[in-house]
Amino acid sequence: MKTHRRLTYIGVFCLAAAVGCADVPDVGEETGAPEAVAAAPASAEPVAAAEQTTAAKPAEQSGQAPAARPRLVAPVRGVAQIGYTKPVVKRGKIGGKDFVITTMRIRNMASAPIAGLKVDDFWYDKQGNPLPSDSYRHPRPLQPGEVITVTLETPLDPRMNRNQWQFSHANGEIKPTLVPKL
């Protein structure tokens, strides 16, 4: 029985303390400790508000609507269509080493962006054995109608006989079409 009385007294005491301290501000809020006042300048909010109002005034005064936030467009899912020019294959030196440098231009012919566009350049010898190859991945979605230049740099191997290009993207396949120029 003594335990129940003690728990009751403790509960009542905690409740009274919580209710009694409800209106007392925390240290650093209204009364503020000197450290809290020195750490945050009092004029930080008015300056930010003034900058926002002055930034909004020119758009309103000129009669233009404020710029809308850019909207994300869903990328192509499944088969996407691209057009590409005939690849130009040349030998060259990069850093003192011999390379086969392949350059082509690619245009997105789909109605939506192509996310994760990847171009692989596969090289083979006369027997059809694979040799070192190169790959290119576009760093951002390729927008509809956008044209990019892709450069593939494959280390030169004297056994190189033929090559093949493969196109793919993050959400499916690519249907490439050879076009005369872009």
Q: What are the structural domain ranges in the chain?
A: 81-178
User: What's the confidence (pLDDT) of residue 70?
Assistant: 74
Q: How far apart are CA 153 and CA 161, in angstroms?
A: 16
Domain 81-178 CATH assignment equals 2.60.40.10 = yes
pLDDT (tens, 9 = 90+) of the chain, 182 residues, equals 566 666 676 766 666 666 565 555 555 444 444 444 444 444 444 444 444 444 444 555 556 767 777 778 889 999 999 999 999 999 999 999 999 999 999 999 999 999 999 999 999 999 999 999 999 999 999 999 999 999 999 999 999 999 999 999 999 999 999 999 88
Radius of gyration of the chain (CA): 33
Which is it for the CA torsion 78, 79, 84, 88, positive or negative? Answer: positive
Predicted local distance difference test score (pLDDT) of residue 129: 95
The torsion angles phi and psi of 62, rounded to 5 degrees, stand at: -80, -5
Residue 71 is predicted with a pLDDT of 77
For 2-43, write each residue's pLDDT tens digit: 666 666 767 666 666 665 655 555 554 444 444 444 444 444
Q: Mark residue 111 as left, alpha or beta (left: phi above 0; alpha: psi -120 to 50; beta: remaining).
A: alpha
pLDDT of residue 160: 92
Q: How far does the chain reach from its first CA to its final CA, in angstroms? A: 92
Residues comprising the chain, all counted: 182
